[in-house]
Structure 1
Amino acid sequence: MTIERRTYKEQAYREIRRMIVDGELAPGTKVVVRMLSERLRLSPTPIKSALAGLERDGFLTTFAHRGYFVPEVAVRDMREIYELREALDGVAARKTATLPDVVDFVRGTLQPLYDEQRRLLEEHDGVGYSDVDIEFHRAIWHAAGNIRLVQFMDNLGGQLRFGSGSSSQVPGRTSNALQEHAAIMEAMAQGRPAEAERLSREHVRRAAEAFEDRSAMTDAGLDTAQQARPAER
């Protein structure tokens, strides 16, 4: 019974998160347990557990006596986050490329994540793709050995995911991003720190541009859900 309940909670968490990332639950929307329970055909218990987890991970905010809401992340906030990511991802890539065991790291850690991204892209699983994308970059942050960098980036976890989800819906972005990941891995494996830093910074900059494109399409009222089939980043 415990396993079954956990499965229902995970199912609710993933589906509600997809609704948030895809824009089905728009920023500022109040999240109602009854509506989700009817929509997902689940009892309120796993829904409430999922909402608590989503709030903990930065996908929802909660207000006393008012409930859960989808947070409103301003475009200006995301621009600032991408600016920081560009600099810090570059630092992490440069430091990682100088590790004595960098080839093992690329082959044993980054390559499997890259392969998983390719699989998810082929299955049109945009949310899963964005999750693994964050794990790809997080692996590099940790490998760089800068504890404060990791803590800082992890503190931005929820907003980083919002950016990933939005940019992933821009047509052509995911396939380009995978090529950029491959180039970053190659530069690291060959011990070229300056090139790894440059490629990482360019990668984040292009993700930021895709986020801006996605925001512009949303502001224009375009049906981006239809335009972005399959979901790409």
Structure 2
Amino acid sequence: MPYEERTLAQSAYGDIRAMIVDGDLPPGTKLIVRLLSERLGLSATPIKSALAALERDGFLIAIPHRGFHVPLIGPADMREIYELRELLDGIAARKVAVSPDPAGFVRTVLDPLLTKQRERGDDGDLASLRDLDVEFHRAVWRASGNERLTQVTDNLSGQIRLAWSGRPSGGVPRTLREHEAIMDAIAAGDPARAERVSRAHVRHSAAAYEKAVSRRR
């Protein structure tokens, strides 16, 4: 694929992924190339490439003779997703804790994010809080230095947001306490504790999802 087409396809991928994750294209929606082309101001070629990539990454399903649809991510899917997130988040936190300056990373990157999270929590701005939650974890993934881990966890995180339909995954006070615990462990340069509290954080989010699903039954 020529560079320009690849760049346009990447742009379309990001825009359509955001529509899916943010709930603008809810589960069950059929994606029409012509409508997406009009909405994004792009030709059909990058749109089709983006849809194929989104299907590979788990954000769409391809139904024979019916095209691409936004999937319904159910409890069984979420158990698999959270299982992977627990392992990968633990690995990322462990790696960051043994990086050259973990305390500096916490002070300059994570601490400002936690401050913003507290402010948005006090304001009741759950949409911004959700975005900051992803930004917090993405910062840890990237700081691990493992590009593949970052890519996989980012996709898993997007699928979690799709399944939660925009609701924060778990109680705000608990989330903030656990983020602080992750920061403390990383800043202390304690890889075992950083991995342990990071994995526990993901398990608690998984439990919150299971509880929310059981209430809807």
TM-score (norm 2): 0.70
Q: CA deviation at 1:125?
A: 2.6
Name the CA shift for 1:167/1:82 in 2 (closer, same or farther; >3 Å): farther
Q: CA deviation at 1:164?
A: 5.8
Q: How far apart are the structure 2 equivalents of 1:174 and 1:67?
A: 38
Q: CA deviation at 1:77?
A: 1.0
Counterpart position of 2:184? 186
Name the CA shift for 1:89/1:202 in 2 (closer, same or farther; >3 Å): same
Counterpart position of 2:207? 209
Counterpart position of 1:104? 104
Q: How far apart are the structure 2 equivalents of 1:93 and 1:146?
A: 11
Q: Which moved more, 1:151-160 or 1:82-91?
A: 151-160
Structure 2 residue runs of 5 or longer lacking an equivalent are: 1-16
Q: CA deviation at 1:162?
A: 2.4
Match of 2:194 among 179, 193, 196: 196
Q: How far apart are the structure 1 equivalents of 2:212 and 2:161?
A: 14
Q: How far apart are the structure 1 equivalents of 2:126 and 2:58?
A: 18
Question: What is the one-letter code of the residue matched to 1:78?
Answer: M
On the 8 A contact 2:28/2:69 being kept in 1, the answer is yes
Name the CA shift for 1:17/1:162 in 2 (closer, same or farther; >3 Å): closer
Q: How far apart are the structure 2 equivalents of 1:97 and 1:217?
A: 38
1:132-151 matches, cutoff 5 A: 132-151=132-151
Question: What is the one-letter code of the residue matched to 2:72?
Answer: E
Name the CA shift for 1:161/1:119 in 2 (closer, same or farther; >3 Å): same
TM-score (norm 1): 0.66
Aligned-residue CA RMSD (Å): 3.6
Q: How far apart are the structure 1 equivalents of 2:125 and 2:61?
A: 25
Q: How far apart are the structure 1 equivalents of 2:190 and 2:20?
A: 41
Q: Which moved more, 1:115-124 or 1:93-102?
A: 115-124
Name the CA shift for 1:100/1:186 in 2 (closer, same or farther; >3 Å): same
CA offsets per residue over residues 43-84 of structure 1, 9 Å max, x none? x955888xx799969766687996874421121111101001
Q: How far apart are the structure 1 equivalents of 2:104 and 2:157?
A: 27
State the aligned residue count.
Answer: 194
On the 8 A contact 1:167/1:208 being kept in 2, the answer is no
Question: What is the one-letter code of the residue matched to 1:133?
Answer: D
Q: CA deviation at 1:18?
A: 4.7
Q: How far apart are the structure 1 equivalents of 2:136 and 2:113?
A: 6
SS at match of 2:28: coil
Counterpart position of 2:93? 93
Q: CA deviation at 1:137?
A: 0.9
SS at match of 1:156: helix
On the 8 A contact 2:72/2:163 being kept in 1, the answer is no
Structure 1 residue runs of 5 or longer lacking an equivalent are: 1-12, 33-43, 221-233
Name the CA shift for 1:48/1:18 in 2 (closer, same or farther; >3 Å): farther
CA offsets per residue over residues 7-59 of structure 1, 9 Å max, x none? xxxxxx989865459xxx4x324589xxxxxxxxxxx955888xx79996976
What is the aligned-residue identity percentage? 46
Counterpart position of 1:80? 80
CA offsets per residue over residues 200-233 of structure 1, 9 Å max, x none? 0100000000111122222x2xxxxxxxxxxxxx
Counterpart position of 1:153? 153
